[in-house]
Amino acid sequence: MELNANMDPNLLLSLVNTKLRNDYNSLEDLCKSEHLEPSLIVKTLELIDYYYDEDENQFKAK
């Protein structure tokens, strides 16, 4: 499934965290590869009270 910042935030959360865990060392690397704007991903996931934890390389609940 292709990542898209306009998709359901819960689905986006699952896909992004899976890709971060399995394939990428950072959100920046993921976004470059998928041609996405990191701020759009962050803003979308903030809607469901998640933030990006750079040290853990995953989105976590606030």
Instruction: Say what the pLDDT of residue 2 is.
Output: 79
Average pLDDT, the chain: 95
Q: In which band, very low, low, confident or very high, does the pLDDT at 24 lie, cut at 50, 70 and 90? A: very high
CB 60 within 8 A of CB 50: yes
Judged by DSSP in three states, 52 sits in strand
Which tokens belong to 56? 């853990």
49: left (phi over 0), alpha (psi -120 to 50) or beta: left
Q: Tens digit of pLDDT for each residue in 5-15?
A: 889 999 999 99
Q: Tens digit of pLDDT for each residue in 39-58?
A: 999 999 999 999 999 999 99
Could you tell me where the beta strands, DSSP code E, fall in the chain?
50-53, 58-61
CB 16 within 8 A of CB 59: yes
Check pLDDT > 80 for residue 1: no
